[in-house]
Amino acid sequence: MSAFLRFSQWIQKTFAVWVMLFAAIAMWMPEAFIWLKAYIAIMLGIIMFGMGMTMTFADFKSVLNRPKAVFIGVVAQFVVMPGLAYALCKLFQLPAEIAIGVILVGCCPGGTASNVITYMAKGNTALSVACTSVSTLLAPLLTPFIFYILASHWIEIDAGSMFVSILQVVLIPIVLGLFIRTLFKHKIERYVQVMPLLSVVAIVAIVAAIIGASKAAILESGLLILAVVVLHNGLGYLLGFWASRIFKLDYPDCKAVAIEVGMQNSGLGVALAAVHFTASPVTAVPSAIFSLWHNISGPALASYWAGKADKLARAEQLIQNKKVESDQVNISEP
C-alpha cells in the first residue's frame, strides 16, 4: 500500500505535466478522447465525492475561528473573478461563445487544488480549506445568479437549470462523501487515500475530452483564449492578495486568499458548459485551458512564496544565533 501511496503522491505532484501531456495528445488524436465528453458530469461528481470524503466537520471550525478571513476570501472569490472575467471579455471584445465560457469559469467557486498549493506556499492551509468549502457550498446559488447577471448580455441563461446541475454534480456528491467519511471514519481511511489519484485522472480526462472536442476552435482562437486565461488567473492572484492586505490579514492568510481567488474549480466550468452549451463546444475551452494553466502558475507561485518564507526563516535563525552568541560572550566576561 505504501508503494501505491508514493505513486499517488508522485502523480499529484506532477499533475500539471499529465494535464499538458494529455492535452497535447488530444490535439493530435482528438477521436481518442471525444467520447469521454458524455461522461464529464459523472467524472466531476466523482471528483466532488472525493473532496467530500477528504473533508470533516472539523474543517468548518476555521469558519468560526477566523470568520473575517473566510468572509474576505469567499467575497473576493465571487466578486473579483467574475468581475475580471467580464472586464476582460469587454476589453478583448471576445466572441459571444468564448465570452460566455470565460465568465462561466470566473463564476465558479475555488478549486480543491488551491488547498495543496496554499500548503506548498506555506500559507494558511486551514483558511484555504474553509474558503473552498464555503464557496463550494454557496456555488449552487451564487454561480448561476452571478453568471445570469453578467452573461445574459450575450445569451439567454437558464439559471434554474444551472442551479440543479450544480446541486447534482457538486453539492450532493460532496455532502454524500462528507457523511460517509463521518459515519465510517477509520474504516474507509485507506479508500480516502485513493481519492486524490482518482481526481487527478478524472480532471486529466475532462481536459482531454474538451480539448479533443474543440480542436478546430482551439486552432482558431486558442492563443486569444490563453492570453485571457493567463490575465484572468494572474490578476486573480494579485487582487485576492491585495484585498487581504487592505483588510489587514496576516501574511499567511493573504497567500491563502490570493491562491483561493486565483484558482477556480474549472472542472465545474467544463461540466456546466458541456451540459448547457452543447451547441457551442468552444464555450468549454476557457475552463479547460484554465485547468491547464492554473496548475502551472499555482505551483510556480507556491515555489516563489515558499522560497521567500525559507529565506526569511534562515535570516531570523541567523539573527537568533548571533543573539545567543552575544549573550554567551557577555556572560563569560568577568
Looking at residue 8, what is its pLDDT? 72
Looking at residue 190, what is its pLDDT? 67
Which runs of consecutive H residues, i.e. helices, occur in the chain?
A: 2-13, 15-28, 40-53, 61-65, 67-92, 96-106, 113-120, 125-151, 159-166, 172-184, 189-192, 195-213, 215-246, 251-262, 266-276, 285-332
Are 243 and 76 in contact by the 8 Å Cβ rule? The answer is yes
Looking at residue 93, what is its pLDDT? 92
Domain boundaries, the chain: 19-307
Q: pLDDT averaged over consecutive 10-residue blocks of the chain (334 residues)?
A: 72 75 87 84 80 70 77 93 95 91 92 79 84 88 92 82 84 83 72 73 82 78 89 95 91 92 86 80 85 82 80 69 57 55
What is the spatial distance between Cα 26 and Cα 40, in angstroms, rounded to a whole number?
15
Looking at residue 42, what is its pLDDT? 83
pTM of this prediction exceeds 0.85: no
Looking at residue 297, what is its pLDDT? 87
Looking at residue 272, what is its pLDDT? 86
Multiple choice CATH, 19-307, 1.20.1530.20, 3.40.50.720, 1.10.10.10, 1.10.3720.10: 1.20.1530.20
Q: 232, exposed or middle or buried, with CB in 10 Å at 0-12, 13-18, 19+?
A: buried
Are 179 and 53 in contact by the 8 Å Cβ rule? The answer is no
